[in-house]
Structure formats: C-alpha cells, structure tokens
Amino acid sequence: MLEIGLTGGIGSGKSTAATIFVENGASLVDADQIVRDLQQPGEKVFEEMLSKWGTDILTSDGQLDRQLVANIVFSKPEELTALNAIVHPAVREEMTNRREAHLNTDNTVILEIPLLVESGYRNFDAIIVVDVDTEIAVERLVQHRFFDEEDARNRIDKQASRESRIEIADYVIENNASFEEFEEEIIECWNWIESIERPEIGRPLPL
C-alpha cells in the first residue's frame, strides 16, 4: 500500500481534499472519525473522559457534548494536555489497526491527521498539507460551521503553525481562492500521488 499523510489546520479544507481523493479511488483512515468513534458511550476513551470531567460533559441523552469539552480544553492548556493524554494513545492504536487492514494490497491509503505535526510521526510515503490563510480560515469557520470567532481563533492558536506544517510537506495544496480552484488543486495533487512509485506489496507496516 501507498500511505499518504494528509494534514492542515482547522478550516483548511483537508476533509474536502480527503473526500475527493476517496472519490478517485483512495482509501481513508480519518483520525477525527476515530476520535468520534472512541468517544461513544461505553468506549474506553469516553469512560476516561467521564472519570476526568464528570457527567457535566454529557448531553441530556448521555452523549459526549463535544462543544462543551472544546470550551474546557481550548481555554486551559492543562486541560488540553489531560485530554491529549487520554485520546492520543488510543487513537494511535486504532489507526494502526485500520492501517493493517490494507496490508498486502496496492491501495492508496490517505491518513487524515489534523495533529500530524504535533504527533511527530513522519513515516509516510508522502505528506500533503492543505494550507489556508488564518483570516480566511476564521471567516469560513464562522460563516459555514457557525463557530464563535473567539472559539475559532483559540482552536487555531492551539494548533501547529502554518509554517511548521509546510516545512514537513512534500506537496502543499493552497485553499485561499474559490472552491473551483481548490478542487482543481486537489485533482492536480491526486495526479501527483498517482505518479509516486508504489511500494512493493507485502512491505511491513511502517511504525
């Protein structure tokens, strides 16, 4: 399998890029979706978060109130550290499990990882970064995802800088213009991915 790391800041459009890659034949391992899966009632991460912050972080129907958790952790660095200590090891383990499902195949596997820079993990065949101007990202989060502006800026500030993401990139997709131009850039990137020499089938899983 060919493994491509995909990252970008919140509001960058990386999930749109991932969707288009999948439409063109890629398989997707989505770190954010894994987090949501592990935060379902009964899962280990859910139970550990409940033990840390209590039932106040639940909605009336017993689900995790993700916005409330975000309000807590993005306002206090120590709370974010505590959350990361609960979530990151479990996500890494589950990502490994999902990657293993593609061993001994010729699949192109996109690993969408928002915190790729922060994780320190670089063992991919290539890394793609979706980059967007910070002010444009804030505007899109407020207009299209109904974020409070302060919340949007807090989340962006807690993530790696644009410069640190671009520094590790093998390919940068810019998303500062129209959706049509963004889509064209994604397709150009897919063509580049298709040109990468494919690893031998049966290669051990990079760790």
- In this predicted structure, what is the pLDDT of residue 198? 87
Report residue 138's pLDDT band, with 50, 70 and 90 as the boundaries.
Answer: very high
Percent helix, strand, coil in the chain (nearest 5)?
55, 15, 35
Q: Which residues partner with 112 through β-bridges?
A: 6, 30
Q: What tokens were used for 86?
A: 């609960």
Q: Tell me the per-residue pLDDT of 58-77, one tens digit each, with 9 for 90 and over.
A: 999 999 999 899 889 888 88
The answer to whether 82 and 52 have CB atoms below 8 angstroms apart is: yes
Indicate if the pLDDT at residue 54 is higher than 90. Answer: yes
Q: What tokens were used for 142?
A: 């407020």
Checking phi first, is residue 202 left (phi over 0); if not, alpha (psi -120 to 50) or beta?
A: left
Average pLDDT of span 126-131: 97
How many CB atoms lie under 10 A from the CB of residue 11? 23
Q: Do you know the residue count of the chain?
A: 207
Q: What tokens were used for 13?
A: 């459009």
Average pLDDT of span 149-176: 94
Q: Tell me the per-residue pLDDT of 16-40, one tens digit each, with 9 for 90 and over.
A: 999 999 999 999 999 999 999 999 9
- In this predicted structure, what is the pLDDT of residue 202? 67
Pick from 68-72, 98-102, 117-121, 129-133: least confident:
117-121
Average pLDDT of span 143-154: 91
- In this predicted structure, what is the pLDDT of residue 103? 85
- In this predicted structure, what is the pLDDT of residue 206? 64
**Mean residue pLDDT across the chain:** 92
- In this predicted structure, what is the pLDDT of residue 207? 58
Q: What tokens were used for 170?
A: 């093998």
